[in-house]
Amino acid sequence: MDVKSGTKHSSELQEVGRKASVSSSRPSGRKKEFAKIMRRPVPRVSESSDVSEDGSCSSDSSCGRRTLVKGGGSQGRKKNTGVRSVKVVPEGIDAAAVVLMFPVSKLAVGKRRCAWITPNSEPVYVSFHDEEWGVPIHDDRKLFELLVLSEALAEFSWPAILSKRDLLRKLFNDFDPCSVAQFAEKKIPSLKSSGSTLLSEQKMRAVVENARQMLKVIEVFGSFNNYCWSFVNHKPIINGFRYARQVPVKTPKAEAMSKDLMQRGFRCVGPTVIYSFMQAAGIVNDHLSSCFRFEECIGSCSKESRTNTESMTLGKGLTKKCSLQD
């Protein structure tokens, strides 16, 4: 090969090399796509995994436990470690705030109550169940109050009635039968217009009339307490029902008291109303046997050491007070 041909061949090789370098600096469309893929962030391995740099697992861990974050492709086969995953409060959220947003109901962790008391029951209703309902009552004024409240059950529920209790006490002079019995006829409409939307005018008139008839009962029996408790031989009836569906709405004894009251001139005292009155006044203990108040109300019966003489003295004093006001 002569010098000219060698020089020409060398220049051709240099030209081919230059074109190759230029083509390599300008990647094709496929190479551009590959470059984009390579620029994507590599999925991080969770802290629980233990993988060596060359991709193999160490002797202390299993590849089956490797878990990738979301977007990192397929997950490795999980190994059952016997530990269940637990949801925790996300980072940045105060756990105490979550407790305040979703408080645990006191009823859910407290004492067991009757089935009709639920975590959604109004506090005034729960308090009435825990402190008053089923406790034997022997005070005439208190019995008169419970009779009036029970009469309202024909149109309203216990929570609605108890929410208006203070207003009713104000309207009826703290349920003093002597005072209520002296209400003039013209005062009854004013009671209705004073803001009470609980009792109708008919119920208002029934309360006044029942107060007058109650004074007559006291004159005969010595006290309204003696009259009411005489229908159960002065001992509370303890039913001990297990289920709410077993609790009746009326009983033969309630029907007997209702009939006698009607004959004496009482109004709005049907058997259902009277049985509700007997339950509230503790004449009947209808707390479910699983309720914590069932045993407590039974225990309160042993503490009722008021004798018939004391009850008669209370009734006579009440009648004397009414006669002095006449």
| Binding site residue list | 114, 129, 287, 291
Residues annotated within a binding site for Zn(2+): 114, 129, 287, 291
Return phi, psi of residue 57, to 5°. Answer: -90, 150
Q: How far apart are alpha carbons 275 and 187 in whole angstroms?
A: 30
For the CA atoms of 145, 151, 156, 162, the dihedral, rounded to the nearest 10 degrees, stands at 10
φ/ψ bin of 93: left (φ > 0), alpha (ψ from -120 to 50), beta (otherwise): beta
φ, ψ dihedrals at 285, nearest 5°: -95, 100
Alpha carbons within 13 angstroms on the beta-carbon side of residue 230 total 14
Instruction: Give SS3 for 104.
Output: coil
Residue 58 dihedral angles phi and psi, to the nearest 5°: -75, 170
DSSP letters along 137-188, please?
---HHHHHHHHHHHHGGGTS-HHHHHHTHHHHHHHTGGG-HHHHHT--TTHH
Q: What is the DSSP string of 122-137?
A: -HHHHHHHHHTTT---
Specify the DSSP class assigned to residue 166. H
φ, ψ of residue 62 to 5 degrees: the values are: -115, 140
Contact 129, 117 (CB under 8 A): yes
The one-letter amino acid code at 136 reads P
